Structure 1
Amino acid sequence: MNSTKATKLDLLNVKSLPIRTFWITSIAFFLCFFAWFGIVPFMPDVVKDLGLTPSQKWNSIILAVSGTVFARLLIGKLCDKYGPRLCYSWLLVLGAIPVILLGLVQTPLQFLICRFFIGFIGASFVITQFHTSIMFAPNIVGTANATSAGWGNLGGGANRLGMPLIAAAVVAFGAAESEAWRYSMVVAGVVCFLMGLVYYNFTQDTLQGNYKDLKATGEMPVAKKDDVGFLEAIKDYRVWILFLVYAACFGIELTVYGTMDDYLQNTFQLERVTAGNIVLSFALMNIFARTLGGFFGDLFGKLKGLRGRVLFLATILAVEGIVLALFSTATGIILGITLLILFSLSVQMAEGATFSVVPFVNSKAIGSISGIVGAGGNVGAFLAAILLKSKSAIAEKAAITATEGMGAEAVQAAQSAASSAAVSSGFLLIGIIVVCVAVGVLAIKFSTATNEIVEREIEEDLEAEILTQSI
């Protein structure tokens, strides 16, 4: 077996362990995101069926994001200790339970509890990045990480199409339409469970073998030669800058897309279906946008070393913040959609660029660092959601008070205008914060020794691959 890291992303070479791992971990991540946000297309049905209040609906969104914070922090440490194979297998099997139970809930409280625990499968992102990081060489690891994450993130958009199709299928088999959302969640949970079995049986922790076997024979994988714990990782200031970076890109993407349907309707008077399709199209940009971020991270890494990766990350993050701030002021639909396209492209590229830097902060604690940085994304989403919820709630309440006694249409129009203005001001503030974080990225430094080690590793992996191909 070839025990060297892959130096290129040859997607058709499934006989290669790194490529096989790439495909399996990407599919697992896709299914986790599909199940994590699987209930979103059915929220109108859930609100009607369970009698959710607007506040409970918002809280369910916040809880789904909050649960992931704790899971990502924990799973990174577990990956360093037990390896990605066991961690992913158990996460998929156990994570399937609340997904299935969501289809059985009868009260708003049960619904909120299930959404919180379903958020734990969002930790799958950390394992995906960890597993690809230890399978691919430094010259291509950014592209591999970004592509696996981007394709996995597609699950969060594909559910808008996939879950209604599952619902239509169960109805065709005789289920009541009012119960279709329940059966759909059960199906999604069962698929996650089965994927856990696939991950256990068809992947391997490292190129050298599984952690359990290596420990039994007295060996340890290269990345574990010197055990660097979670506490060691949190002492590195660069980890916390990257924590803020991921909060400012992935966290903001989650919140912006979560509120964009209503914002497009309120601001540009679009129909709900049209607004939903626009948001879906931006989610589908993950097919290539994240990969671009990782690709350019690797490219600047080749040109300027590790500093080049940092400079590109700072630049693309600043572009994201500026574009979001400009979008917040747009009143015309053409300009608004153009800026939204640029935002979607830049925010996803920033996510890919972030994890073109992460593997180089400390190669002996990739799991812990990936977990901390990944958790930053959900913290960012949580804080941004709280900001927009509070601003919107205050504005809408004031609008209702001001239009008291008027007709229902006048009240609705006032509410929509107030919500649009409040969310717009929130986007502007968030855009400014993102630019500030981008400036802070420049503080990330790497030693000359670290740069030399990375360059030497790239040369060794390339030489090993050429030797293997010639045999």
Structure 2
Amino acid sequence: MEAPLSVQPLNKLNIFATKGVQMRTFHLTWLTFFFCFFGWFGIAPLMPLVREQLHLDKSQVGNIVIASVSATILARLVMGKLCDTLGPRLAYTILLVVGAIPVLLIGTSHSYESFLLFRLAIGVIGASFVITQFHTSMMFAPNVVGTANAVAGGWGNLGGGIANMLMPLVAATFVALGYVDKANSWRPAMVVPGVILLIMAVLYYRYTVDTPRGNYADIERNATASKAGTFLLALRDYRTWLLALAYGACFGIEITIDNVAAVYFVDHFGASLVMAGVLAGIFGFMNIFARGLGGIVSDRAGRAYGLKGKWLLLSGLLVLEGIGIAIFSLAPSLTLAIAAMLLFALFLKMANGCTYSIVPFVNKRAIGSVSGVVGAGGNLGAMLVGFLFKSATISYSTAFLYIGVGVAAVGGMVLLVRLVVREAVAEAPESPLALA
């Protein structure tokens, strides 16, 4: 492996740069995360086919949605700890290999129970987000880490939107080539993202390093955080829990919509499978700029008003997101629903970026654990709202209305807590290289 060109985190982000260990790692990290999201939600736009073939009812589909995000909660906690101990390079490689297995095998399901278990196992891939944010934090200085984290996260999340767009076409291609009929086309289609995950495992292990100074195994590291227990350091700070709550109200809603949007557009507006996938894909495609925009605006708010400015921005974005979701739930036509979706998607994805622009400032000795707990909060939020979509008495549109009200309430809660609890010291984090 080539020697790092610099041992310092970068203090600026040039997305067109590819030279240097920092930018090479940045691009490989977001690209790997992109394919993780692609594999995680690859089956989502194909659920109408799965539902018909396996004879699933509304409650069973709801259980599958819940399962898809449940395993991620524990996996994110584990990966946060592994980032602090093994390092992001090995942690990501392990996750990619393990996550590829259920993606490759879900096509062998012939019953509700087996499909549910495979969908649960695939959710482990969602822990890739924690590693992505940790690794990016290691490569960039505090003045730009929020922007870098948001861009990497946003471009990675884009994989969910692209999956909604492309997977119906991948399935249709297998049908056109004569390998399977339409009813079974989802089975070979899922092999495609599984193989890609294995390829990314090889690339990540070979071409990234843990820090600009080298891999954890090759450098002398400060063990203070490990001795104190990084999880304890993270859990003792109320800001970790507040960010986890906020992330449940933005990212948790995002992955829920990634799961149910295609089904909602088919059932509620009569859209075709391909059209529903495209519409759901538009929601995810906004990650190409919206999450990064949230990080950029948050970094600027931080430079102008300190950490308080970042928190106030996060609160405002959550309130606006909640209002937009409520409007989406009440939209009487497909056109108005699309417009409302674009509106709340902007605020939701900006809130995602804003949340993780604050994470590196919570505890410099436990960045991985803080990132893991906050990330787990996002999936816990998705799991909880998933119960709304399995209820036999609550329609999808009513569920979205409840979600909108809840998200706005969380935004108000974030504002209230930050007004009541004073910041002890608005201290910028040391470079993550303090861990090394």
Question: What RMSD, in angstroms, separates the aligned Cα atoms of the two structures?
Answer: 2.7
Partner of 1:370: 371
Partner of 2:25: 21
Per the normalisation by structure 2, the TM-score is: 0.90
Partner of 1:394: 393
Partner of 2:232: 231
Q: State percent identity of aligned pairs.
A: 47
Contact 2:295 2:357 (8 Å CA) reproduced: yes
Change (3 A) 1:95 1:263: closer
Partner of 2:325: 324
State the 1:450 CA deviation: 1.7
Higher Rg of the two aligned structures? 1
The answer for unaligned runs of 5 or more in structure 2 is none
Tell me the distance in 2 between the aligned counterparts of 1:425 and 1:161.
Answer: 26
Change (3 A) 1:446 1:199: farther
Partner of 1:106: 110
Partner of 1:35: 39
Contact 1:294 1:356 (8 Å CA) reproduced: yes
* 1:155-194 mapped onto 2 (5 Å cutoff): 155-171=159-175, 173-177=177-181, 178-194=183-199
1:206 equivalent to 2:206? Answer no
Amino acid of the structure 2 residue aligned with 1:182: R
- Secondary structure at the aligned position of 1:11 is classed as coil
- Secondary structure at the aligned position of 1:154 is classed as helix
Deviation string 1:48-91 (CA, Å, 9 cap, x unpaired) is: 33333332222111101111111011110111111000000000
- Secondary structure at the aligned position of 1:103 is classed as helix
1:340 equivalent to 2:341? Answer yes
State the 1:446 CA deviation: 4.2
Per the normalisation by structure 1, the TM-score is: 0.83
Tell me the distance in 2 between the aligned counterparts of 1:115 and 1:235.
Answer: 33
State the 1:199 CA deviation: 0.6
1:289 equivalent to 2:266? Answer no
Change (3 A) 1:240 1:425: same
Amino acid of the structure 1 residue aligned with 2:427: T
1:95 equivalent to 2:99? Answer yes
1:429 equivalent to 2:405? Answer yes
- Secondary structure at the aligned position of 1:134 is classed as helix
Change (3 A) 1:309 1:264: same
State the 1:239 CA deviation: 0.3
Partner of 1:416: none
* 1:254-265 mapped onto 2 (5 Å cutoff): 254-261=255-262, 263=264
Contact 1:313 1:441 (8 Å CA) reproduced: no
Deviation string 1:371-409 (CA, Å, 9 cap, x unpaired) is: 00001111111111213433xx125xxxxxxxxxxxxxx
* 1:418-457 mapped onto 2 (5 Å cutoff): 419=395, 422-423=398-399, 425-440=401-416, 442=418, 446-448=423-425, 450-451=427-428
Contact 1:5 1:134 (8 Å CA) reproduced: yes
Contact 1:388 1:422 (8 Å CA) reproduced: no
Counterpart of 2:201 (choices 196, 199, 204) is 196
Partner of 2:360: 359
Partner of 1:278: 279
Contact 1:103 1:181 (8 Å CA) reproduced: yes
Counterpart of 2:121 (choices 117, 120, 123) is 117
- Secondary structure at the aligned position of 2:11 is classed as coil
State the 1:159 CA deviation: 1.1
Tell me the distance in 2 between the aligned counterparts of 1:18 and 1:244.
Answer: 31
Deviation string 1:420-441 (CA, Å, 9 cap, x unpaired) is: 6633542443244333333245
Tell me the distance in 2 between the aligned counterparts of 1:253 and 1:434.
Answer: 15
The answer for unaligned runs of 5 or more in structure 1 is 396-418, 461-471
Tell me the distance in 2 between the aligned counterparts of 1:149 and 1:421.
Answer: 28
Contact 1:252 1:381 (8 Å CA) reproduced: yes
Partner of 1:152: 156
- Secondary structure at the aligned position of 2:139 is classed as coil
Deviation string 1:161-213 (CA, Å, 9 cap, x unpaired) is: 32234334444554123443222212221210121111111100011111112
Change (3 A) 1:359 1:336: same
State the 1:146 CA deviation: 0.6
